[in-house]
Chain A
Amino acid sequence: MRVRAIAMGGALLLLTGCGAADMTKQASPFANAQGAKSLTLSVQSWVGAQANVAVAQYLLEHKLGYRVDTVQVDEVPAWDALSQGRVDAILEDWGHPEQEQRYVKDKKTITPGGGLGVTGHIGWYVPTYFAKQHPDVTNWKNLNKYASQLRTAESGGKGQLMDGSPSYVTNDKALVKNLDLDYQVVFAGSEAAQITQMRQFAKEKKPFLTYWYAPQWLFEKVPMTEVKLPAYKEGCDADPAKVACAYPHTPLQKYLNTDFAKSGGKAAAFLKKFKWTTEDQNQVSLMIADQKLTPEEAAKKWVDSHASTWKAWLS
């Protein structure tokens, strides 16, 4: 009996003595392996996000002496990781009102890090070679005329509107329905699959209609023209089932983990100041995705020729 009591007490002491395991402070086991200051950045699956991270990582490592780890995660899980401190910053967010409400406003575990300087826009696009042949395809009112030309095996007798990764914001199913279009939304399931398919179509100069977004390096390889949808007005996309308007133009945002924003020293200050243009980002993206440079090589090339831009971030 006595032994048991002592054992119980010991166990309790052990538990409380060690204290609570803090779920909000766990870095990657691979971090700091050589005893360096380090931070973790989240990379999203599109190349523009890779470009941001590549340049930030290059400067942090070579100019500020940090070791940078990157993790590739989808957007919503990345918010969760950011709030827990497993990731220190997200450099390109396309707008997640629900997550902002929860983590920035209610829990205050995430702090806005300012704008990235790039404005994002989602829309429907057709390849420019097709738009030149049929200039009226660039208005949604005429899309039904072209449905038969845009048919594929997957679209079941209707025209195909290709959508991408499940992690992207999309109203396309509602749009097709509410605008009364003779189209079927086909989900490519990942950005990689979507890009591959677009390049195959472009090689054969076949017409296609796709959900796509700018800034994006692929525009350099496959020139595309946006299809005009009913104009965007504030709040016209409030009800997901009744959307019948275009997507907004979104100034892309950075977000930092709150603890990191406060005590992250030079790295946090640098990430808050990090701000560049669409052209800058596209330049780096194209080097990564099309010329197949590693993100590090691409970042080095850009950094070597844009000293005035990044010097401002370090001051």
Chain B
Amino acid sequence: MATVTASTPRALPTGLLRHRAVHKLLLIALAAAVLVPLANARWASGSWPGALTVDLTSPLSKASDWIIDNRDSHPLFLYFFGYVSNAVVISVRAVYLVLLGAGWAGVTAFGALVAWRVAGVRLAVGTTAAFLACGLLGMWVPTMQTLALMVVAVLASVVVGVLLGLAAGLSRRMDKVLRPVLDTMQVMPAYAYLLPVVLVFGMGVPAAVLATVVYAAPPMARLTALGLQGADKEVLEAVESLGTTARQRLLTARIPLARKELLLGLNQTIMMALSMAVIASVIGAAGLGDRVYQALASVDVGAALAAGIPIVLLAVVLDRVTGAAGDGTEPRGRAGWAYALAGAVVVAVAGRLLGRLDWPDAWTLNIAEPVNRAVDWMTDHLYSGVPVFGGTADWAGHFTTWVLDPVRDGLQGLPWWSVLLIVATLAWLIGTWRTALTAVLAMAAIGVLGVWTPALDTLSQVLAAVAVTLVLGFATAVAAARSDRVERLLRPVLDVFQTMPQFVYLIPVVALFGVGRAPAAAAAVVYALPAVVRITTQGLRQVDPAAMESSRSLGATSWQQLRQVQLPLARPALLLAVNQGVVLVLAVVVIGGLVGGGALGYDTVFGLAQGDLATGLVAGAAIVCLGLMLDRVTQPTERRTGKGA
């Protein structure tokens, strides 16, 4: 639709646009005038009518009972799931043993040399430092466990992703079928499907790897499909004219042409897999995530941070290295690789001969204690009694009573049909009638699942957190877009915010804001802020320099320039930032359940903790529906390809 794109609004007569919006509004008003009295006469309740719900409790608990009773005897498990599960265990074990056998020196040397070949000397030094830091923090063995898990999970995700991507990239119809599937895989909170995965594959590594594949394969699939669809038509025609078969064309032209997208897909898949490392520890996946999780149980922020830092380091190193591989256009010489490999082997063997396989205990640094002292000091001084401002506890209280409560009560007080009407109006004004229909159906599905009231509670938290994220994010982004120095300083901070497992900051967040919905909102803001800042900064910076220059020559002040030139021109980026803010905040809803956020997040956690398939899955499905609805309401531009920045 031409309603809202970057430049057309200025070109099109605004009268026409208004006209169209008025049209839509009139149509909706007409539909409402007919439907609302009907609905109201039949189900006159304010909240979602009980007659229109479906209770899934009994079928879902039956399914879970069936799995438990047949798991040890049914052929489906003995000859299929059992093999999958065994294959995962064997491969993870193999990788782990290789990593242990190479010793810390060998692994570090290998990592550094690969980084050197792919991305140059600077990243090689960074990689070395990162691995040594993992050892210094006393986390060498857990890091290797996580790495082994990651290698297998990423390989599996890439295979699954590429297969799905090939299907979608080569057939329009498959593309249409797969798109909602991929959406669901990403928006569904992992917590909701951990339990079914555990029931089928059993506790521990196999379930963790498979849950990771569900989450990490979609970006690979999307980018593969995008790469295949975007291949240069002329090149393809030229290849075709040479009389090649379809398969040859795929292998020799289309896939090589899609190299950039494939590598970006790999990069995204690694990032998402790593972000699952901690969540997967909830089902016994061991490694760094498990250390974070166990530290949480003894309320030890320092220990959690000591395990969280290696995750951040791994993420940053892998991101930069795969990112550099995606940027490089020419494959480099084989000889260099051979030298690099030989070097790594030499170091590994030397380490072995010297008997220095395990990281020496004496070389560890205990950061837990000073970190805990710092956190204590901070929470002591900020929690209450800051002169004039009050303390963080007061702010949290005010935020809850002045913002969260009214929004929640307002949403829950609205008659159910009016919520649907509002959703329809917003979605239609921004998109097509199809978008509006999807959004309304998603919202209605929440009602049908019987979680209308908690879903609106969650929605109110999401809206409030997104509002805070956008205010902070836009302000930071404006500063970053205007000054290179600010942007440089900001980059590592954003990296840490984005990759630090949320479990690490749960305790400080509660210590500052108390238990309730306010700390949940704070955790969500921390997680969603980096993407919003990055997208907005990029958008502002890409504004045509000529436009900026001409406005400056007209004597515009810097504020006028920002308001009248930069922001309007960066509009598509701003809208994308809003959309990503919503999606990412929604991803933390479950974590919010762990600090008193209640509603759907709590239900999801409850489902896993109590082995209650019905509660967990229904809450998870409702979160997916909320995500779908919010996406449609905030996504006017054409669909993006990958999630996350």
Binding site for B on A (CB under 8 A): 15, 20-24, 26, 28-30, 33, 43, 45-47, 50, 69, 71-81, 84, 86-87, 102, 152-154, 156, 162, 165-167, 186-197, 199-200, 203-204, 288-289, 292
Contact = CB atoms under 8 A, between A and B. Distances in A.
28 contacts: A15-B79, A20-B78, A23-B72, A23-B85, A23-B202, A26-B89, A33-B96, A46-B297, A50-B297, A72-B281, A74-B282, A77-B283, A77-B608, A79-B611, A81-B284, A102-B68, A153-B400, A154-B514, A166-B605, A188-B510, A188-B515, A189-B592, A192-B507, A197-B510, A200-B514, A203-B383, A204-B383, A204-B384
B517 A26 contact: no
A152 B514 contact: yes
B483 interface: no
Nearest first, the 7 A-B pairs at minimum CB distance are A21-B82, A167-B609, A76-B611, A29-B93, A71-B284, A20-B78, A81-B203
Max chain B CB contacts within 10 Å: which of A69, A152, A190, A191?
A190
A187 B598 contact: yes
B147 to A, nearest CB: 12
B379 A191 contact: no
B209 to A, nearest CB: 10
A167 B77 CA distance: 28
A181 B465 CA distance: 33
Judged by DSSP, the binding face of B is helix
Given A154-B400, A189-B602, A196-B507, 19 more contacts: A21-B81, A23-B85, A24-B72, A26-B85, A30-B145, A30-B286, A72-B294, A73-B203, A76-B610, A84-B202, A86-B202, A166-B605, A189-B595, A193-B507, A193-B519, A196-B515, A200-B511, A204-B384, A292-B298
B104 interface: no
B609 A74 contact: yes
B190 interface: no
B111 interface: no
Interface string B549-582: 0000000000000000000000000000000000
Interface centre among B302, B401, B596, B602 (most CB of A within 10 A): B596
B48 interface: no
Interface string B88-103: 0110110011001000
A193 B72 contact: no
A288 B294 CA distance: 11
B606 A80 contact: no
A117 to B, nearest CB: 22
Q: Assign chain B's interface to a size class.
A: 35 or more
Contact of B86 (A21, A77, A78, A102): A21
Contact of A292 (B79, B145, B302, B515): B302
Contacts of A33: 96-97, 100
A189 B596 contact: yes
Contact of A30 (B93, B592, B605): B93
Contacts of B78: 20-23
A188 B510 CA distance: 10
Contacts of A195: 299
Contact of A190 (B145, B199, B296): B296
Contact of B82 (A23, A76, A154, A194): A23
Nearest to B286: A30
A26 B200 CA distance: 13
B4 interface: no
Contact of B596 (A29, A86, A154): A154
Given A23-B77, A24-B72, A80 B605 contact: no
A29 B96 contact: yes
Contacts of B609: 74-77, 165-167
B382 to A, nearest CB: 11
A196 B511 contact: yes
Nearest to A165: B609
Interface string B196-234: 001100111110000000000000000000000000000
A166 B507 contact: no
A276 to B, nearest CB: 19
A166 B515 contact: no
A29 B92 contact: yes
Q: Which one of B78, B86, B405, B514 has the highest number of Cβ atoms from chain A below 10 Å of its Cβ?
A: B514
A192 B93 contact: no
B588 interface: no
Residue from A21, A29, A43, A72 having most chain B Cβ neighbours under 10 A: A29
Given A73-B203, A189-B595, A197-B514, A20 B611 contact: no
A77 B100 CA distance: 30
Nearest to B87: A21
B380 interface: yes
B372 to A, nearest CB: 7
Given A50-B298, A74-B608, A186-B596, A26 B293 contact: no
Contacts of B313: none
Nearest to A32: B93
B597 interface: yes
A191 B85 CA distance: 32
B496 interface: no
Nearest to A156: B405
B206 A26 contact: yes
Residue from A33, A69, A153 whose CB has the most chain B CB atoms within 10 Å: A153
Given A23-B85, A153-B397, A191 B297 contact: yes
A213 B170 CA distance: 60
A193 B86 contact: no
Contacts of A15: 79
Contacts of B90: 29
Given A23-B78, A203-B380, A194 B515 contact: yes
Contacts of B510: 188, 192-193, 196-197
Of B296, B369, B517, chain A has the most CB atoms within 10 Å of the CB of B296
A22 B514 CA distance: 47
B297 A192 contact: yes
B300 interface: yes
B518 interface: yes
B343 interface: no
Interface string B361-393: 000000011001000000110011000000001
